[in-house]
Amino acid sequence: MSGTGSAAGRPPIRLLIADDQALVRGALSALLGLEPDIDVVAEVGRGDEVQHAATSARADVALLDIEMPGIDGIAAAANLRTALPGCRVIIVTTFGRPGYLRRAMQAGASGFIVKDTPAAQLADAVRRVHQGLRVVDPTLAAESLAHGDSPLTERETDVLEAARTGGSIADIARILHLSEGTVRNHLSNAIGKTAGRNRADAARIAENNGWL
């Protein structure tokens, strides 16, 4: 362990942790708090609290989960980049949706970690990111390139997202203020592009690829 830190008189890394699950949040805090060169200076459970907490606690590094109430971790990362440019961001999420990686990087994140990486690597990731390096899960990086950008247009994405809750075409048309025929056309295009068998299938595929 350690290795990179060298832990001389240098001031410790000021870390913010954001995760909606209090148990995980507290556990991560306990895990990283054991490291002598890391100080956990803030813990939040909502995406829209990240910016305020990070600025007032003067965080050096922010560890953000994607799934959070308020705004998600990627949007929070984008906000942080403009509001507190000196603060590096690591996105940590439960499962490897390759589309998330691309979006996280576009939002200015410096690191991307899935929750089934060994716990010992996390502290090193924080240190590397603090030094200005990038940390990306290698398996995910390859997958991200293979799947690439979303082939769906903006409207097709909207329609698929509305279809996810299980409503009928009439429902979707009402929500998006479109004609039913248009909804059918967009859905048909989305089904073709995702190679799904129906809209439920297409929504599932698109979601797994991070296209929603």
Nearest CB to DNA, comparing residues 27 and 176: 176
Which residues within the stretch 17-76 sit at the binding site for a copy of itself (CB under 8 A)?
20-31, 34, 45
- Is there binding between residue 190 and a copy of itself (CB under 8 A)? no
Say which residue the tokens 């429902």 belong to.
Answer: 171
**Shortest distance, CB of residue 111 to DNA, whole angstroms?**
32
Residue 29 binds: one of DNA, a copy of itself, none (C-beta under 5 to 8 A by kind)? a copy of itself
**Shortest distance, CB of residue 158 to DNA, whole angstroms?**
7
Nearest to 135 by CA among 113, 114, 167, 164: 113
**Shortest distance, CB of residue 85 to a copy of itself, whole angstroms?**
27
Query: Looking at 175, 182, 204, 212, which residue binds DNA (CB under 7 A)?
Result: 182
Whether the Cβ atoms of residue 103 and residue 72 lie closer than 8 Å to each other? no
Window contacting DNA (CB under 7 A); options: 16-24, 45-53, 137-145, 163-171: 163-171
Query: Looking at 87, 90, 129, 187, which residue binds DNA (CB under 7 A)?
Result: 187
Helix or strand run (H / E) with residue 64 = strand 61-65
Where do runs of H (alpha helix) occur along the chain? 22-33, 50-57, 73-83, 98-106, 119-130, 138-147, 154-163, 169-176, 180-194, 199-208
d(C-alpha 160, C-alpha 106), whole Å: 23
